[in-house]
Amino acid sequence: MANFNYIDIQFLDKTHTIKELSFIEFKNFLKRIYGSTDIINTFNELITHCYKGSNKLNYVEKILVLLNIRGLIFGNEVSFSQNERDININIQEIIDSFNIKSKEIEYQIGDNVYVFNYIFDNHIPINKLEFISNSLMRINDIDVTDISDKTELIPACNFNELYDLIYEKFYNGNFYIKKLDYDINFSSIYTFLESIFKSDLMSLYEMEYKLREVLNFNTYDLENMSLPECKMFMNFYVRDQNDKENN
């Protein structure tokens, strides 16, 4: 039987399946964000919870999964305030700017061909040799992706040139918000994700109280209904109350 709690999304020429967070799950995740000392690890725990599939996600795929999860929770519109005016951007436009598949790199060193692709790490290593080795997928036709430490597999070469080649090929995506003079790129992406996932935790507690008190929701309801659905029912209730007052 199909599980309708999961939603298929498309990016980088693949179909990925993610789980929509329930009201309770999102509330608990939001509590984790505010208390987290390692925001990257917190977001990757969210991916582990929401992602359904056998595919091992690379770094870029993880970012795109998170952006899609955020869209499910709040919708694609994101608003920022600057100089007393609201600036709106669309999450889908950001997804599109990073949803660019690049072919793997074949780099000749001596008699061997070293093949590089997106890393599977949760973050982009600062150390250039670590970054290069983590990006290494094959040597000639030999798969080396499952080797934990591949630094010894990289022979002497121009590390700066190879680093720049890999980074520019796979991690050059960005989305520039002109009105904010703010560039969303892979160096700033987790800071941006944190800002667009955060919301007023107290307002969620207040909504939960009203859902339980006024609409008789129970824990089962809140564990099986998403935040958008809960907002919709609250809006229906408020509308009905307004209609009664006007009549």
One domain, residues 93 and 189: yes
Residue 1 lies in a domain: no
Give strand pairing partners of 88. Answer: 79
pTM (2 decimals)? Answer: 0.90
Token pair, residue 156, equals 């002497």
The answer to whether position 30 is within a domain reads: yes
Whether 128 is covered by a domain: the verdict is: yes
71 and 185 in a common domain: yes
- pLDDT band with cut points at 50, 70 and 90 for residue 119: very high
Q: Are residues 215 and 192 in the same domain?
A: no
Flag whether pLDDT at 3 surpasses 80: no
Residues 110 and 72 in one domain: no
- What percent of the chain has a predicted confidence (pLDDT) above 90? 63
CA distances to 20, 71, 84, 153 from 212, rounded to whole Å, are: 21, 26, 36, 59
192 and 140 assigned to the same domain = no
Contact 173, 185 (CB under 8 A): yes
Give me the number of domains the chain comprises. Answer: 3
pLDDT, position 4 = 63
Q: Is residue 13 part of a domain?
A: yes
Q: 63 and 40 share a domain?
A: yes
d(CA 92, CA 54): 25
Closest by CA position to 63, among listed 200, 197, 227 = 197
Task: Show Cβ contacts of residue 88 under 8 Å, excluding neighbours closer than 6 positions.
Answer: 77, 78, 79, 80
Whether residue 183 is found in the same domain as residue 222: no
Bigger pLDDT: 76 or 132? 132
Residue 95 and residue 190 in one domain: yes
Residue 172, pLDDT score: 86
Write the secondary structure of the chain as one string of H (helix), E (strand) and C (coil): CCCCCEEEEEECCEEEEEECCCHHHHHHHHHHHHHCCCHHHHHHHHHHHHEECCCCCCHHHHHHHHHHHHHHHHCCEEEEEECCEEEEEEHHHHHHHHCCCCCCEEEEECCEEEEECCCCCCCCCCCHHHHHHHHEEEECCEECCCCCCCHHHCCCCCHHHHHHHHHHHHCCCEEEEHHHCEEEECCCHHHHHHHHHCCCHHHHHHHHHHHHHCCCCCHHHHHHCCHHHHHHHHHHHHHHHHHHHHC
Q: Is residue 183 part of a domain?
A: yes
β partners of residue 107: 114
pLDDT in tens, 149-180: 899 999 988 999 999 999 999 998 888 888 77
Q: Which residue, of 150, 170, 190, is where some domain finishes?
A: 170
Mean per-residue pLDDT over the chain, rounded: 90
Q: What is the mean pLDDT of residues 227-239?
A: 92
Residue 60 lies in a domain: yes
pLDDT at 89 (0 to 100): 86
Tens digit of each residue's pLDDT (9 = 90 or more) over 19-78: 999 999 999 999 999 988 999 999 999 999 999 877 789 999 999 999 999 999 988 888
194, 90: one domain? yes
139 plus 65 within the same structural domain: no
- Residue 22 and residue 88 in one domain: yes
Which whole number is the average pLDDT over 86-99? Answer: 88
Q: Is 124 exposed, middle or buried (0-12, 13-18, 19+ CB in 10 A)?
A: middle
For 39, the domain range is 6-99+173-199
Encode pLDDT of 205-224 as tens digits. 999 999 999 999 999 999 99
pLDDT of residue 1: 40
**209 and 115 housed in the same domain:** no
Q: In this structure, are residues 175 and 94 in contact, taking their beta carbons and an 8 Å threshold?
A: yes
